[in-house]
Amino acid sequence: MNIANNTFKTLKDLDKAHYLHPFTDLQEHKQKGGDIFSRAEHIYIYNSEGKQLLDGMSGLWCSNLGYSQPTINKAITQQLEVLPYYNSFFQCTHQLAVDMAKSLVEVTPPQFNKVFFTNSGSEANDTNIRLVHRYYNLLEKPNKKQIISRKNAYHGSTVAAGSLGGFNGMHEQYTGVNYVHHIAEPNWFGYDGELDRDAFGKHVAQELAAKIDELGEENVAAFIAEPIQGAAGVIVPPETYWPEISKICKERDILLILDEVICGFGRTGNWFAAETYNIEPDLLTFAKGVTNGYQPLGGVMVSDKVADVITCNEGEFTHGFTYSGHPLACAAGIATLDILKNEQVIEKGAADIMPYFQARLRSLEDHPIVGEVRGVGMLAALELVKNKSSKERLAPDCEGGAICKMHAIEHGLMVRSVGDAIVTAPPLICSREEIDLLITRLTIALDYTAKHYGIKS
Ligand SMILES: *Cc1c(COP(=O)(O)O)cnc(C)c1O
């Protein structure tokens, strides 16, 4: 259904007039207005002119089952009739929060038997800080407050979660908390030293040990990291990286927080990337895919090690949100996990569509402006270059990525550009034909981008 032209103008004007968009150039938006999306079906999104786009980003890495899941709709509307809201403060509880907690315990690694609910990934990472500080206070190690994170990490956008994150563009706009320290990320494409990939992975992991030594182990509470850095441009670590990080964390008295907000719920071919990389986190952040994006829900899985301390000391844990364990969000979450389990979406995906997707993308390595294809499961990035061997970029200021994204949208494919990389994370339920369509549209975008810069393809 096309929205009539006059409605469109009004909506666009109202959007420009009243709506401050997140992560948006507000001056540009004030002038040009936003792109209006009107509806979605299966893996496709439709703009206000009725143009269809294959959603190569699953929304914002969250609608992993696409947009047509009637059992999730039904779960939400049924719950609306029974108990639309109640809270979990001061010992209160309700069926849906309990069922959701149980469902999460069943699918997460065995050390996790407890969950703290939030409404977002950002709030979940704030919760992590509250948990690790409380944990070490209760253990009478009150100096252990420092947290180590990585450059170009994304952990959300509240003041504390933004501080954990490592984006200069965010730090420049406000003053964050003063107990977070950033080490280098395992960015192999961006590295031009002498080491091979495996040696580089170990080398960059050693920065964690060096930083702990510098700050003093007695002052460090935790290390937080995404298994694969999403917003940074799908930074896939060398195979040697996580074993080395795990070893460093085990040898020292610090907690490991794994931010699985993007990687969780099947994105890397296992329920959690903790399994993909054999990582044993003490705390695990989830959000996004947990409700298929249908409702805001996030949280922290708390391991027995941490739970045993925070539940065996008297005194209130003075933290929580009005909507922690919201019944409608939990209804959406339970239904989402049920689909993943009952339809074996992850197991089937890992056996077929994920390797197919990765293989088809790898075939684009021959394209004259593709410098690297990297990815795991249903998560990938293409690094755009002018010159494959020198890795010279297409244009200054990462304009090449933006140009390619524009051509992709023009030709019916939603992707994201991060610097000079094009990122794609399509729904896990794509068929082979749909992946073929994604590749066809992406190839057209690459050809136009090459042409834009006068490179033959
Ligand atoms: C999106 C994201 C967050 C923040 O989640 P919100 O729900 O937007 O607050 C945290 N960590 C990672 C890895 C993310 O990708």
Say how many Å lie between the CA of residue 452 and the centre of ligand 1: 34
For 209-218, what is the mean pLDDT? 98
With a 6 Å cutoff on the Cβ, whether 166 touches ligand 1 is: no
Same domain, 351 and 309: no
Same domain, 253 and 293: yes
With a 6 Å cutoff on the Cβ, whether 357 touches ligand 1 is: no
More confident residue, 209 or 7: 209
With a 6 Å cutoff on the Cβ, whether 287 touches ligand 1 is: yes
Average pLDDT, the chain: 96
Same domain, 187 and 197: yes
Same domain, 376 and 357: yes
- Predicted confidence (pLDDT) per residue in 318-329, tens digit: 999 999 999 999
Domain count, the chain: 2
Decide if pLDDT at 84 tops 50: yes
Let me know if residue 184 belongs to a domain.
yes
More confident residue, 139 or 6: 139
Same domain, 286 and 149: yes
Say how many Å lie between the CA of residue 265 and the centre of ligand 1: 14
- Predicted confidence (pLDDT) per residue in 221-237, tens digit: 999 999 999 999 999 99
Let me know if residue 253 belongs to a domain.
yes
Range of the domain at 299: 71-342
Say how many Å lie between the CA of residue 210 and the centre of ligand 1: 28
Q: Checking DSSP bridges between strand 416-418 and strand 421-424, what pairing results, if any? A: antiparallel
Say how many Å lie between the CA of residue 298 and the centre of ligand 1: 9
Atom number, ligand 1, closest to the C-alpha of residue 123? 9
Same domain, 39 and 112: no
Q: What is the pLDDT at residue 10?
A: 87
Phi, psi of 98 (to 5 degrees): -65, -45
Q: What is the pLDDT at residue 34?
A: 87
Ligand 1 atom 5, closest CA: 121
With a 6 Å cutoff on the Cβ, whether 298 touches ligand 1 is: yes
Axis crossing angle, helix 399-410 with helix 432-452, rounded to the nearest 10: 130
Reported as a pLDDT band with limits 50, 70 and 90, residue 397 is confident
CATH number where 113 lies: 3.40.640.10
Ligand 1 atom 6, closest CA: 121
- Predicted confidence (pLDDT) per residue in 338-383, tens digit: 999 999 999 999 999 999 999 999 999 999 999 999 999 999 999 9
Let me know if residue 164 belongs to a domain.
yes
Q: What is the pLDDT at residue 189?
A: 96
Report yes or no: 267 and 230 within 8 Å, Cβ to Cβ: no
Say how many Å lie between the CA of residue 437 and the centre of ligand 1: 28
Residue type present at position 256: L
CATH number where 425 lies: 3.90.1150.10
Let me know if residue 5 belongs to a domain.
no
Same domain, 62 and 153: no
Same domain, 228 and 274: yes
Let me know if residue 1 belongs to a domain.
no
| pLDDT more than 70, % of the chain | 98
DSSP SS3 for 96: helix
Say how many Å lie between the CA of residue 161 and the centre of ligand 1: 9
Same domain, 216 and 277: yes
Please tell me the pTM assigned to this model.
0.97
- Predicted confidence (pLDDT) per residue in 265-299, tens digit: 999 999 999 999 999 999 999 999 999 999 999 99
Decide if pLDDT at 425 tops 70: yes
Let me know if residue 433 belongs to a domain.
yes
DSSP SS3 for 395: coil
Same domain, 166 and 209: yes
Let me know if residue 6 belongs to a domain.
no
For 409-435, what is the mean pLDDT? 97
For 63-83, what is the mean pLDDT? 98
Of 316, 342, 368, the domain-final residue: 342
Of 303, 319, 342, the domain-final residue: 342
Give 262-289 as a DSSP string. Answer: TTTTTTTSSSSHHHHTT---SEEEE-GG
In angstroms, the CA 164 to CA 148 distance is 8
Report yes or no: 92 and 285 within 8 Å, Cβ to Cβ: no
* Residue given tokens 């304009």 in the structure block: 399
Q: What is the pLDDT at residue 395?
A: 86
Of 296, 314, 342, the domain-final residue: 342
- Predicted confidence (pLDDT) per residue in 171-205, tens digit: 999 999 999 999 999 999 999 999 999 999 999 99
With a 6 Å cutoff on the Cβ, whether 155 touches ligand 1 is: yes
With a 6 Å cutoff on the Cβ, whether 419 touches ligand 1 is: no
- Predicted confidence (pLDDT) per residue in 110-138, tens digit: 999 999 999 999 999 999 999 999 999 99
Let me know if residue 10 belongs to a domain.
no
Decide if pLDDT at 63 tops 80: yes
Decide if pLDDT at 443 tops 60: yes
Q: What is the pLDDT at residue 30?
A: 93
Same domain, 232 and 307: yes
Cα distances from 420 to residues 109, 127, 266, 372, 417, in angstroms, run: 35, 33, 26, 11, 7
Same domain, 43 and 190: no
Cα distances from 35 to residues 21, 48, 50, 409, 414, in angstroms, run: 11, 8, 12, 11, 12
Q: What is the pLDDT at residue 2?
A: 52
Q: What is the pLDDT at residue 396?
A: 84
Reported as a pLDDT band with limits 50, 70 and 90, residue 168 is very high
